[in-house]
Amino acid sequence: MSSELKLFEQRIMDLARELPGMPAKQILLGKMVRHLNNGTLDRLNQVLAPFGLHWGTWYVLITLHSAPEMKFTPSDMSDVLTVTRTNATRLLDELEQRGLITRVQCTEDRRKVFLALTPAASELIGQVIPVAWQHHVDTWSPLSPGEMQLFEEMLRKLLGKIENG
């Protein structure tokens, strides 16, 4: 555990002693989930950097690659990545400038554009997939398959609560 997280935990526990009834464990777990997310994305960014990518651009590419039959709009991509429309546009602009995606005008509705991978993107994805997969294997290696299954179930339960109120 990082020194930042240890310090946060200590401060929360100190505060909980002063404020009986404080949900210290829940606050700490929330901080740990955020820390885990940030840490995994930081590590993913490190393995993607040699390819000129970061987690956001990689997720756009792999999303388009994983469903070539689907026609994703920029708004769809924003929803899939759970980022703002502004951030999605920034990611798409970055990939378009690098020649990795194109925006294709919809023939039925001129107001719509769809996203498409270029051949250069397909080649890059083929190079990145083994490195990204290894990153995920390494990141989750401390957990057994059973622990990963339990962790997934717990996360889905919490996500359900957050999404459904």
Query: On the CB side of 67, how many CA atoms lie within 13 Å of its CA?
Result: 12
pLDDT class for 4, splitting at 50, 70, 90? confident
Q: Record the tokens describing residue 163, joined without a space.
A: 């999404």
Q: What pLDDT score does 111 carry?
A: 86
Running DSSP on this structure, what letter comes out for residue 109?
-
Running DSSP on this structure, what letter comes out for residue 83?
-
pLDDT class for 65, splitting at 50, 70, 90? very high
Q: What pLDDT score does 109 carry?
A: 85
Q: Other CB atoms closer than 10 Å to residue 154's CB: what's the count? A: 10
Q: Other CB atoms closer than 10 Å to residue 39's CB: what's the count? A: 13
Q: What pLDDT score does 1 carry?
A: 64
Per-residue pLDDT reduced to its tens digit, 5-54: 889 989 999 999 999 999 999 999 999 999 999 999 999 999 999 999 99
* pLDDT beyond 90 at 106: no
